[in-house]
Structure 1
Amino acid sequence: MTLHDTTPPAPTAPRTPTAFPYWENKQRPEWRRRERFVKKVLRHDLFPTDEQAQLLCDDMYVGDPVAEKYVADVFFGEIGHQRGRAMLDEALDHGIDSIPDAPESMKTLFTELETVPDWVDRDLVEQGARVWRRWGTMLYSVAGAITLEIYTEGAVAMPLSLAGGYAGDNALRRFLETCKFWIDVSEPGALFEVGSQARKTAMQVRVMHVAVRKRVGDHPEWDHEAWGLPISQTYEQMTQIGGAVAPAMSLWLLGYQTTPKEMRALIHFNRYMGHLLGVQPQWPTTTIREQLQAIAMTTAARSYDSGAAGKELIESFPAAFAPRTGQRGLKHLRAAYNFRIYSAYCALWMAPGTRKLYDMPRAFPWILIPIARLPLVTATELLRRLPGLKQLHLRTMDRHRKSWHAAQMEGRQAEFDASSSLRR
């Protein structure tokens, strides 16, 4: 530019991982048509504002600084994992004051755990937790199946593949650990009770994410230019959306009638649960519309670049429920049913175009089971609103989700261990 040149400089391209081509894809004809359709029919925008979208892109480079400082000082510092895990368990059971030699980073982490943000509405959090309990085992089914769609993305699939938790023979064990987490955090009052199992589990998961983030980020297979930071704020927030509006709307297909009021409670519940996990995005999606816009944005930005890692994760999920060697009698029958019904759920909640890319088990005739149950589920959803049946229905669904999980665990305990090395 010369001294007298008044031509404005070209705008700086938004900072975005190369494997997240949202800004390019949203201009494609098919997405422009979808934008116009949503604007005309629903009278709102399909995508978030550019400012909101850029914050979501920026958060792909952001992790959990408070917990990362603690993990660096303790687990990767002089204290080491064994002593660090013992200190963490002691502080979770008896408070941070029970650790006289706790480093400052640990005190900061627990101050954040014990401080309820001003935006939190406790009643709304409890209403959201109650919806999870009411869904019973369907939370496991829908959350597990809809997550398979995002495993097509390398930014999501590679950390899980390298850690090995949701792949191959480990898939069922880690999924059941996640189910245990869902049970713990949705117990009445659990997220606010000091020393509760929910808060312990949340902290253990938070620390595990940090440890995996560091190991994956240092791994030669991780592409920072393409994917940003492993387990970024963006994809952690998408996990919270995957526990709120996404499953609520998906379950309507099977007759589970989650109302807009209940969805708003789910959003708030998941946001506070996410806060305890270190999920503190620059643009928190706090409305049904915003969550749908975030889903549309990440859908438009898909690059289907997960390759063999995504293939293993997706195909491992339904296969994990198949009968195992040594299972006999009732255990074998239960596993056989779970395998077939989860195969049906995968077919129901995966896009046909995605599903055909992978070797998935046959869904027919098993998909007829949830379809046949739809009238009964719909009737139950209507009847449960009656005062005399509401609590009975809630208790029944809550007991069922716990008994299902206990039967699957067969005496094992969830560990949420951050010490394991990557599998390659």
Structure 2
Amino acid sequence: MSLSIDQVRAKVASQKTLLPALYGNVDFDTTPERFTWDPALAVVRDRQPMGVEVTQEDLDRVHAYTMLGDVVADAYASLIPQFGFRRLIDLLTRACDQGIAAVPDAPPELVAFIAAMEATPDWVDMDLVREGARLDLNATAHLAPFAVRGAFIATFLNKYSALPMALTGTLSNDSAARRVNETATFFATTVLPGALERHGAGFKAAAMVRLMHSMVRFNALRSGRWDVGVYGVPIPQVDQMPAGLIPIFLMSFDIIGKGRRRFTREERARVELARYRCFLLGLPEDLLADTPEGVVRAMTARNSTLRQGFDDATCGALIRATMAAYLPPDRSPANRLHDRIERRFAKVFFLKHFMKGDRAAAARMGVEVTPADRLVFGAVALGVVTEMAAFRAARHAPGLREISEAVLVRRVRRLLARYGHAEYVTDAARYRPAHAAA
């Protein structure tokens, strides 16, 4: 059940008393500069897309969640001075793999963290989650290897939400490559059979991502150089919506454009997979709608209250570092060829899906799209679409479903080997002053 606005505000304010060492100096009654009530100043200016009415309650909810971190994960990350971040990761890894009982003298904060992730809410349909994971194997195996970079740089278009990534050292090419591969690893891991069960690899990956976000909050807020009045809480809940829900949002937007207001069974399964992944990452039910209109309303409310702001020293540098990053595991001839093809595809994918085809605007951000890029994109897209269509057909053919699914699982596992081991850690020594990055 969704919380009332008053309940959400009380939850936000409780951070000050629950975690005084981290949030004691934060004024949760303030509205940070990043949030704007004026749609003319926002990232998205139309609050009523295609007849979907974004209500005042939607806006109020986003306003409140703009100042919410992650109480249980933040509490665990706050043990860094006592345990060190490597020790915290080791304890969390053991608790995910073997259960909290396997961690002798487990800190109460770790117990609470694991318990929160284990408490699957009644609104999650795990059968649909498993079906959604099976359906997403196809796109993960065929589209994701080419699209992940383009989708990743789309998260750097706004200085207010991009600053935490700049603070974690992602401005270097090596760090950017690691972050892209870690992101790809997380989403690929979660579609494997059994990965999102309690002791599955996806459950553990979500815990690691969640801890990484909390480490960013801890180090940024404790640095004394993070301006809450400008940026709010680092990585608030509303900034995790795009990463977890962008494919679902685009699908919902398309569905509404076709005049539908309900998901099909397969669409609903994909939505449930996304919602459960987001739950594991700490997002509340309030931000995880289960209807096309609800998804569009929630995301539009977020984007139409996030103040515009592209800063080249932060956003531009992050985009350029990510575009320049070499993602393959080695420099064999095959991998160098894949890198050149994938990089061209990523630029056009970014232009089409996140820049509305505005080549001049993309170029100003550091993404220059050439005719050769478009040619490569078209060829790769044709191949990807054809292969995905063949596997969709096999899914519905008698006797071929299990075989095709096994092939997809093998391909995703090969991708994971290619992405490498994900560390999901941040180095506090690399953090820069907030005013320097902005």
Same fold by TM-score greater than 0.5: yes
The 1:292–1:141 alpha-carbon spacing in structure 2 relative to 1, beyond 3 Å, is farther
Task: Name the counterpart of 2:150.
Answer: 145
**8 Å CA contact 1:90, 1:98 repeated in 2:** yes
Deviation at 1:24, TM superposition (A): 1.0
Deviation at 1:420, TM superposition (A): 4.6
The 1:199–1:111 alpha-carbon spacing in structure 2 relative to 1, beyond 3 Å, is same
Using the alignment, how far apart are the partners of 1:359 and 1:52 within structure 2?
Answer: 34
Task: Name the counterpart of 1:386.
Answer: 396
User: Which residue identity lines up with residue 226 of structure 2 in the other structure?
Assistant: W
Identity, % of aligned pairs? Answer: 24
**8 Å CA contact 1:158, 1:222 repeated in 2:** no
Query: What TM-score does the superposition give when structure 1 sets the normalisation length?
Result: 0.80
Using the alignment, how far apart are the partners of 2:268 and 2:393 within structure 1?
Answer: 22
The 1:85–1:279 alpha-carbon spacing in structure 2 relative to 1, beyond 3 Å, is same
Which of residues 56, 62, 86 in structure 1 aligns to 2:90?
Answer: 86
Deviation at 1:133, TM superposition (A): 0.9
The 1:247–1:355 alpha-carbon spacing in structure 2 relative to 1, beyond 3 Å, is farther
Higher Rg: 1
**What does the per-residue CA deviation read over 1:270-305, in whole Å, with 9 as the maximum and x for residues that have no partner?**
221122222225443332222222333344344124
User: Which residue identity lines up with residue 175 of structure 1 in the other structure?
Assistant: V
SS at match of 2:123: coil
The 1:405–1:196 alpha-carbon spacing in structure 2 relative to 1, beyond 3 Å, is closer
Task: Name the counterpart of 1:19.
Answer: 34
Task: Name the counterpart of 2:167.
Answer: 162
Segment of structure 1 superposing worse, 55-64 or 337-346? 337-346
Is 1:403 matched up with 2:414? Answer: yes
Task: Name the counterpart of 2:422.
Answer: 414
Using the alignment, how far apart are the partners of 2:93 and 2:328 within structure 1?
Answer: 35
Matches within 5 A, 1:9-408: 16-21=31-36, 23-25=37-39, 31=45, 35=48, 38-39=50-51, 44-45=52-53, 48-72=54-78, 74-76=79-81, 78-135=82-139, 136-165=141-170, 167-192=172-197, 194-219=198-223, 222-246=226-250, 260-280=264-284, 282-301=286-305, 302-321=307-326, 327-351=331-355, 352=358, 354-372=361-379, 373-374=381-382, 376=386, 380=390, 383-384=393-394, 386-388=396-398, 389-407=400-418
Using the alignment, how far apart are the partners of 1:168 and 1:247 within structure 2?
Answer: 32
Deviation at 1:84, TM superposition (A): 2.9
Equivalences, count: 387
Using the alignment, how far apart are the partners of 1:400 and 1:161 within structure 2?
Answer: 32
Using the alignment, how far apart are the partners of 2:391 and 2:40 within structure 1?
Answer: 38
Query: What TM-score does the superposition give when structure 2 sets the normalisation length?
Result: 0.78
SS at match of 2:371: coil
SS at match of 1:61: coil
User: Which residue identity lines up with residue 20 of structure 1 in the other structure?
Assistant: F
SS at match of 2:424: coil
Using the alignment, how far apart are the partners of 1:249 and 1:85 within structure 2?
Answer: 38
Gaps of 5+ in 1: 1-13, 251-258
Deviation at 1:122, TM superposition (A): 0.9
**8 Å CA contact 2:138, 2:388 repeated in 1:** no
Segment of structure 1 superposing worse, 104-113 or 144-153? 144-153
**What does the per-residue CA deviation read over 1:42-96, in whole Å, with 9 as the maximum and x for residues that have no partner?**
xx32xx2111221111101001111111222x323x3333433332222222211
Using the alignment, how far apart are the partners of 1:201 and 1:118 within structure 2?
Answer: 22
The 1:379–1:234 alpha-carbon spacing in structure 2 relative to 1, beyond 3 Å, is closer
Using the alignment, how far apart are the partners of 2:363 and 2:72 within structure 1?
Answer: 42
User: Which residue identity lines up with residue 144 of structure 2 in the other structure?
Assistant: L
**8 Å CA contact 2:170, 2:179 repeated in 1:** yes
Segment of structure 1 superposing worse, 268-277 or 315-324? 315-324
**8 Å CA contact 2:168, 2:426 repeated in 1:** no
Using the alignment, how far apart are the partners of 1:391 and 1:318 within structure 2?
Answer: 37
